[in-house]
Amino acid sequence: MKPRIASLVPSATETLVALGLGPCLVARTGFCIHPAEAVAAVPKVGGTKDVNLAKLRALAPTHVVVNVDENRRETAEALRDFVPQVIVTHPRRPEDNLALFEQLRAAFADQPGVNERAAALAAEFAAALARIRGRGRPGEKVLYLIWRDPWMTVARDTYISTLLAEGGWFTWPDVAGGEQGAGRYPALRGDEAWLGDIARVLLSSEPYRFGAEHLAEAQALCPRARVQLVDGELLSWWGSRGAAGLDYLRELSATSRSAPAGG
């Protein structure tokens, strides 16, 4: 039987399409935009944090894919009232992509080509992980900014931070955010003493779209740092984009100057 899948997570939507399950998608969020040609005709059911449950129920999904970071707990709980299978994802480190591929493979193993595509994604990711781990790590203290007014960054136990660590970039502040909640993306006052020791500031393209007009402002925050714009999708989207994210990071960090490790 062909499943009716709703994906409430952009990374998961892209990964489901990579597994050959695009024709099974019956719902997505407005942020699920990749791959554009595959999702264009799939109905939207709100955003990741404000899912239109009534519209989703009417689409009668047999499976809904959610994520601990992206979606609200109450949304997942409400889904269980009318969805036969709610698939909860939570990649917290790059290597968790391998478990994710297996999780989705197992859920849809009866669909043509899924087993083979999952194996290919796992092999591609494992090769990318080996490539980045096979080179020296520069060891820079970095500030990865995802928002401004207020400035917001990432805790050390987020996917973004652990990915950056694979390239030798150690995010500050050195705090853990826990399993879920606001602590995973701490706000800054802007006068923290450690800001003066940051070697590099990375301005993400999402969720806040930093641009060239923000470079000077970020430079004032960390006067001694190199400030650069980075592709937030490649550095934060897990799943099928994970291998490309590692290769992108490997290229970016290849230009790093030597600095004391912050890890």
- pLDDT tens-place string over residues 145-171: 999 999 999 999 999 999 999 999 999
Report the b/e string of 60-82 with b at 16+ CB within 10 A: ebebbbbbbbbbeeebbebbeee
10 and 118 share a domain? no
207 and 164 share a domain? yes
* Angstrom distance (rounded) from CA 28 to CA 44: 5
Report the pLDDT value the prediction gives residue 256, as an integer from 0 to 100.
55
Report the pLDDT value the prediction gives residue 134, as an integer from 0 to 100.
79
> What domain range is 83 assigned to?
1-90
What's the DSSP call for residue 120? H
Q: End-to-end distance of the chain based on CA atoms, in angstroms?
A: 49
Report the pLDDT value the prediction gives residue 25, as an integer from 0 to 100.
98
179 and 77 share a domain? no
Report the pLDDT value the prediction gives residue 101, as an integer from 0 to 100.
98
Instruction: Convert the pLDDT of each residue in 79-107 to its tens digit.
Output: 999 999 999 999 999 999 999 999 999 99
* Angstrom distance (rounded) from CA 249 to CA 164: 7
The pTM of the full predicted model, rounded to 2 decimals, is 0.90
Instruction: Convert the pLDDT of each residue in 191-207 to its tens digit.
Output: 999 999 999 999 999 99
26 and 85 share a domain? yes
28 and 144 share a domain? no
List residues bridging with 152 in a β-sheet. Answer: 147, 187
For residue 258, pLDDT beyond 60: no
Number of domains in the chain: 2
Q: What is the mean pLDDT of residues 117-135?
A: 94
List residues bridging with 87 in a β-sheet. Answer: 65
Dihedral of CA atoms 103, 108, 112, 116 in degrees, nearest 10, equals 10
- Tell the burial category of 18 from Cβ atoms under 10 Å away from its Cβ (0-12, 13-18, 19+): buried
CATH code where residue 61 lies: 3.40.50.1980
Reported as a pLDDT band with limits 50, 70 and 90, residue 137 is low
169 and 233 share a domain? yes
